[in-house]
Structure 1
Amino acid sequence: MKKILLSSVALLGLASGALAADLPSRRAPAPVIAAVPVFTWTGFYVGVNAGYGWADSFDVTLPNGAVVRADSEDDGGFIGGAQIGYNYQIGSFVVGIEGDIQYADLGGATYIVAPGTVVSYDNSDWFGTVRARAGVAFDRALVYATGGFAFADNRTGWTVGGGVEYAVTNNLSLKVEGLYVNLQDDDFNFGGINYRGGDSDFGVVRAGLNYRFGTY
């Protein structure tokens, strides 16, 4: 009789365990936590900028080979324009390319090419650059160097500089940068004499706003 009772109790215990296993769990499900996207500088961007530019020197080469440095008639003026570019981030390093076109109020210069002979020169009222950029990102802050090709009218040259850019939102970033621009002046004829243009040098400090596509 005891064996029958013990067997019945065991069967009841097994049946209760099986029923309990089929019942829904009262334990709360684990919360689903979405991964926060990692910020990246990779992507295309467009923007605008404004700042100040000042002429450093204007040189001209005389027929005898002597170089005359012109006196600037204007200390400098407004610089403003637009830019477009692309960045690619590899770890903490960011490389890219940027092109810009600028209005430039840099005045002109006066050449004294010979005693009593004065030649006036008007600097271009615009210039553009196509530059490589390379820098280091500290999350949303980017410190970079830049350099490349510069042009104005039918003159060409080079530029070098650097800056700091900060992403205030996922798509908007602010930057401050400085450039040194060197352009080869045109040759010109005055009084039947050919003069060979030298270098035009000027500096630029500007702030910019970029809208960046494809932040993540």
Structure 2
Amino acid sequence: MKKLLSAFAAFTALTAAASAADLPRRVAPPPVFTPVPVFTWTGFYAGFNAGYGFGTDDRRAGPVVAVGPATGLVAPGTSAVIAFGGRNSTDGFVGGGQIGYNYQFTPGSGIVVGIEADAQYVDFGRDRNRFVSTSPLAAQQVFNPNGLSGLDFFGTVRGRLGYAWDRTLVYATGGFAYGSGGGRDFGLPNRSTDDFQTGWTVGGGVEYALPTDSFLNFFKSNAVTLKVEGLYVNLDRGNGLNGAFAVNNAGAIITTTSPGVVVVNAGQTRRDTEFAVVRAGLNYKFGTY
């Protein structure tokens, strides 16, 4: 009897094991997919820049004016010839800041459009009124008869259109430009001390977004970008200072049409302030991706 019971128990155990083997196994859950973030240029940004600006007008002839005693600029019975240098030293340091917004149509690689505004300090026109004379002058101030060329600051409001290859953006840019020079060096006495100018600008550049692990990425984020940019700027100076020549010790304004003044050589008559800017910049884009 015991043998029979033992055989029955063994048979039952084998049957249970076989039935368990036939049951479907529990399927493990699939791994959670975490997409890799794709960089996009879309977003607001702000930053600063620095570079060098230089004049693009290659004409070098400066005006030459002869003056007599009737002007009050020379002693009675004498005369003088004043020659202005043709080069106005429209070159020097450029630096400032910018803000803007980009929109990228397709993250990763694709077309990027945007708008940017910047304001720049410039060190232009240091020698804009430099002249030589054949005799000492009795004058408080002497001006270039063709108008003055110099800037204290300028700025732009530009559109941007480019194409991005992941973190590299190549773009063209253009739009409105403005600028001004300040102080008595840029205006006549009892006149406005600023000569505000407006015009246009066009240029292009390349911008690169730093990887998170770059030692230059001090924010340790995907939001720091570096750019190199070139701009051509053309500002219309107008005719406000044309013909302005000097102010004598009596405070009278002498012009090229005053008695005793002879324009020997009108020199260059260009009215616009034209210059190019090459600069490097750093931006912080708000929003990591």
TM-score when normalising by structure 2:
0.58
Identity percentage of aligned residues: 53
Cα distance in 2 for residues equivalent to 1:110 and 1:146: 33
**Corresponding residue for residue 128 of structure 2:** 109
- Asked if structure 2 preserves the Cα contact closer than 8 Å seen for 1:172 and 1:211, the reply is yes
**Corresponding residue for residue 84 of structure 1:** 99
**Corresponding residue for residue 209 of structure 1:** 282
Query: Residue 172 of structure 1: CA displacement?
Result: 0.2
Cα distance in 2 for residues equivalent to 1:111 and 1:181: 24
Evaluate the alpha carbon distance shift between residue 171 and residue 41 of structure 1 in structure 2; reply closer, same or farther with a 3 A threshold: same
**Structure 2 unmatched ranges of 5 or more:** 1-7, 60-84, 132-142, 181-195, 212-221, 245-254, 258-268
Cα distance in 2 for residues equivalent to 1:212 and 1:49: 15
The structure 1 residue matched to 2:208, chosen from 130, 148, 166, is: 166
Cα distance in 2 for residues equivalent to 1:179 and 1:133: 12
Output one character per residue of 1:35-81: Cα deviation in whole Å (capped at 9) or x when no partner: 0111100000000000000122399xxxxxxxxxx822326111000
- SS of residue matched to 2:158: strand
**Structure 1 unmatched ranges of 5 or more:** 60-69
**Corresponding residue for residue 65 of structure 1:** none
Cα distance in 1 for residues equivalent to 2:91 and 2:144: 22
Quick check: which has more Rg, 1 or 2?
Answer: 2
* CA-atom RMSD in angstroms: 3.3
Cα distance in 2 for residues equivalent to 1:34 and 1:121: 63
Cα distance in 1 for residues equivalent to 2:128 and 2:49: 26
TM-score when normalising by structure 1:
0.75
The alignment covers a number of residue pairs equal to 190
- Asked if structure 2 preserves the Cα contact closer than 8 Å seen for 1:77 and 1:105, the reply is yes
Output one character per residue of 1:17-48: Cα deviation in whole Å (capped at 9) or x when no partner: 49955x8x4x6543323101111000000000
Question: Which consecutive aligned stretches of 4+ in structure 1 deviate over 6 angstroms post-superposition?
Answer: none
- SS of residue matched to 1:121: coil
